[in-house]
Amino acid sequence: MSTLLEVDDLRVTFPTRTGLIEAVRGVSFSLGRERLGIVGESGSGKSQTGRAIMGVTPPQAEVTAKTLAFDGIDLLAASPRERRALRGKRIAMILQDPKYSLDPVMSIGRQIVETLRTHEKVSKAEARDRALAMLEAVQIRDPARVFDLHPHEVSGGMGQRAMIAMMLIAGPEMMIADEPTSALDVTVQLDVLGILDRLVSERGMGLIFISHDLRLVSSFCDRVIVMYAGKVVEQLKASELGRAQHPYTRGLLNCMPKIGADRHPLPVLDRKPEWAA
């Protein structure tokens, strides 16, 4: 399998009034054309890892790595212009809440068309056709109607589908999805994941799926990285999650209530300082 993304010793540091805070402390992994899940709790650095790869880290933060290469391109050495060109065209990102990532004053269709036309020289008519086809591909039943709607006029699930359509329109090779379904109802969540899954496998994309939900990630991804306090504590195949070695991973799996498992009280995570060391 060809390697799409190579990350070696990635570090993200934020300066604060009280000193430096290391949000990501030496994360290494590689991604092929597969579904990779990054799981962790709040403050584990999972989102900052995704942002650093995408190049949307806040300006005051410092990003360093021995290697951070996408398809052979050194992302840290690339100029802001080159990175902008990569973003959207070859690397796409989906965020948690479509309400905040879609432009509220522009119709959904126009946003998709604009995205396409920034990256490819196509005629307006062709762009519109492709946008409609894309909306259909994310299983929006009436694409022509949704095309003219504004983001506030659609439901959360519909908005997230539109967001996926917008992100996929330029045909990226890699997608970073940061909690793409956490704001959605459980049943809608599965629909959206189904769409994402189909598109990723049909187009042979690499997907980084960032989530706090270990159960969801393990059922959706091929491989899982578990992060704790800015570090990777364990990397394993999703199918082998039951055989996880690290006490943190096992604790995370255990502490969730399950239907049918009558455990009172629930086992709680006993955090050891050496995990963060």
Partner 1 sequence: MTAALSVDRLEVVFDRFRALKGVSLEVESGESFGLVGESGSGKSTLLRAIAGLAPAASGTIAVNGKQLGARRDKAFYREVQMVFQDPYGSLHPRQTVDRLLQEPLAIHGFADGEKRIQRALDEVGLGTGFRFRYSHQLSGGQRQRVAIARALILEPSILLLDEPTSALDASVQAEVLNLLEEIRRRRKLTFLMVSHDLAIITHMCERLMVMQNGEAVEHLTAGDLVERRVTKDYTRNLLRASEGFVRTA
Residue nearer to partner 1 on the CB measure, 111 or 211: 211
16 in contact with partner 1 (CB under 8 A): no
Among 160, 189, 211, 249, binds partner 1 (CB under 8 A): 189
User: 62-64 and 5-16 as β-strands: parallel, antiparallel, unpaired?
Assistant: antiparallel
215 in contact with partner 1 (CB under 8 A): yes
Candidates 11-19, 23-31, 143-151, 249-257 — which segment interacts with partner 1 by CB under 8 A? 249-257
Candidates 66-74, 76-84, 109-117, 182-190 — which segment interacts with partner 1 by CB under 8 A? 182-190
Least distance (Å) between residue 80 CB and partner 1: 34
DSSP codes of every residue in 36-95: EEEE--TTSSHHHHHHHHHT---TTSEEE-SEEEETTEETTTS-HHHHHHHHHHTEEEE-
Candidates 92-100, 133-141, 170-178, 216-224 — which segment interacts with partner 1 by CB under 8 A? 216-224
Least distance (Å) between residue 243 CB and partner 1: 18
Length of the chain: 277
Residue nearer to partner 1 on the CB measure, 54 or 199: 199
95 in contact with partner 1 (CB under 8 A): no
Least distance (Å) between residue 178 CB and partner 1: 16
DSSP, collapsed to helix, strand or coil, labels residue 1 as coil
Q: What is the dihedral of CA 201, 207, 211, 217, to 10 degrees?
A: 40
For partner 1, the binding residues in 40-69 under the rule CB under 8 A are: 41-42
186 in contact with partner 1 (CB under 8 A): yes
266 in contact with partner 1 (CB under 8 A): yes
CB contact burial 213-249 (16+ within 10 A = b; e otherwise): bbebbbebbebbbbbbbbbbbbebebeebeebebbbb
Question: By CB under 8 A, how many residues form the interface with partner 1?
Answer: 37
267 in contact with partner 1 (CB under 8 A): yes
269 in contact with partner 1 (CB under 8 A): yes
Which residue stretches of 91-185 are H helix? 98-101, 108-119, 124-137, 143-147, 156-168
Give the Cα separation of 111 and 107 in Å (integer).
Answer: 6
218 in contact with partner 1 (CB under 8 A): yes
Start-to-end C-alpha separation, the chain: 33
Q: What angle do CA 159, 163, 168 make, to 5 degrees?
A: 150
Instruction: Give the Å distances, CA to CA, from 191 to 79, 95, 259.
Output: 38, 17, 22
Among 36, 132, 135, 193, binds partner 1 (CB under 8 A): 193
Which positions touch partner 1 (CB under 8 A)? 41-42, 156, 185-190, 193-194, 197-198, 201, 212-216, 218-220, 251-252, 255-260, 264-269, 271
